[in-house]
Chains A and B, each alone.
Chain A
């Protein structure tokens, strides 16, 4: 990343992800956090991302997106006058686990896994955090029925430990959620490999680099092509 002027770089990421990135962010780099709730509607997330890209300060040349494919929310984004850099992963879980391969391995071994991180517990609207709202709205019986339906095919709750200083607090919350909803609790060791590489380079095969004047394609994330 020798040629990249960090003052001309900007990081755009979701609130649940950016706090894991900020400790590694070089000081001249600017950043913008987007609402976590946007991930529930890929169209809204795409609009918000495009706005954030288009409204970047005139001196910004390179934009780092702290997202993956994210239900294809990044597909169709126009780079405009910028270069876009996006981790070549399906979503932020792979970012927290440190590689697309590790995420794939986890997914293959237990597909019915609900992943949680500190950020997801803090900002996320998970079935676990919704339960109490549901009880108030529909009563215990219907609330239980809805949550059972959501988690019907899930067997594991995996808490990704990213080494922050309040780990014990969030670990306990994740563990109690698993217990309450009958899921097997497991802790996975997080990794900052993607985060560090994203913020300091090199942007090798693990990253999609979209030059100015181009549109992000689904095939940028699948090297084996159509």
Chain B
């Protein structure tokens, strides 16, 4: 069982973007049979601090990316322990992609990674995905949820177009839009069913929808 001190060491290592130290701490705590969800929680807190430092201009964009890189590495270490711990596995299929005219995929990739830990089937169509491609793949793969990701403002129009196409074709599917700059107004504009602006909130929402 981890102490507050060991937890705070991991949070600081991530916040300081110290990859070596973060991975060492993860290995130690996994060897001590620590709860993988606590480890992920600590990493998310560390990443949140990275975001705060970026907002205060203590880090550049590269700091955010480095934080994401460390998170990927950490998840690779944690995944086996996490998969064996999750007994309440949901079954379900999620179709994910970054919408047309956008190529940002950091958030989408984190969501994909976390969902795969819950043994969900994730179909990732990549970036700059046209509305017609989402629809074509949805008809073929029959997912339970459609996840549209986007960061730039142009993406809001593509989300709206994609959702409109699905409705026009009479294809019913719960649709979640995700992106760090989304807002309630953008959500209304796109016509989506749900919106999230954090990866972990997206995962929780999808798990809830699949229950």
Report the minimal beta-carbon distance from A93 to chain B, rounded to whole angstroms: 10
Per-residue CB contact flags for chain A residues 182-226 toward chain B (1 = under 8 Å, else 0) read 000000000000000000000000000000000001110010011
Collect the chain B residues with CB atoms within 8 Å of residue A152's CB: 105
- Contact of B103 (CB < 8 Å), options: A130, A138, A153: A153
Q: In whole angstroms, what is the CA distance A125 to B59 when docked?
A: 10
Do A90 and B154 touch (CB < 8 A)? yes
State the interface size on chain A (CB cutoff 8 A).
Answer: 39
B91 adjacent to chain A (CB < 8 Å): no
Q: In whole angstroms, what is the CA distance A152 to B68 when docked?
A: 14
Among B1-9, B37-45, B183-191, which stretch is in contact with chain A?
A: B183-191
Do B105 and A153 touch (CB < 8 A)? yes
A-B contact count (CB 8 A): 88
Interface size band for B: 20 to 34
Report the minimal beta-carbon distance from B155 to chain A, rounded to whole angstroms: 10
B89 adjacent to chain A (CB < 8 Å): no
Collect the chain A residues with CB atoms within 8 Å of residue B66's CB: 138, 142, 146
Chain B residues packing against A (C-beta within 8 Å): 19, 54-55, 57, 60-62, 65-66, 68-69, 100-105, 127-128, 152-154, 156-157, 181, 183, 185-186, 188-189, 191
11 contacts between A and B (CB under 8 A): A40-B54, A71-B153, A90-B153, A107-B101, A107-B152, A127-B62, A133-B62, A147-B62, A150-B62, A153-B104, A154-B103
Chain A residues packing against B (C-beta within 8 Å): 37, 40-44, 68-69, 71-72, 75, 90-91, 104, 107-108, 111-112, 125, 127, 130, 133-134, 138, 142, 145-147, 149-150, 152-154, 217-219, 222, 225-226
> Can you add 6 more A-B contacts, CB < 8 Å, to A90-B154, A150-B62, A152-B105?
A40-B54, A111-B101, A111-B154, A133-B62, A146-B69, A218-B185
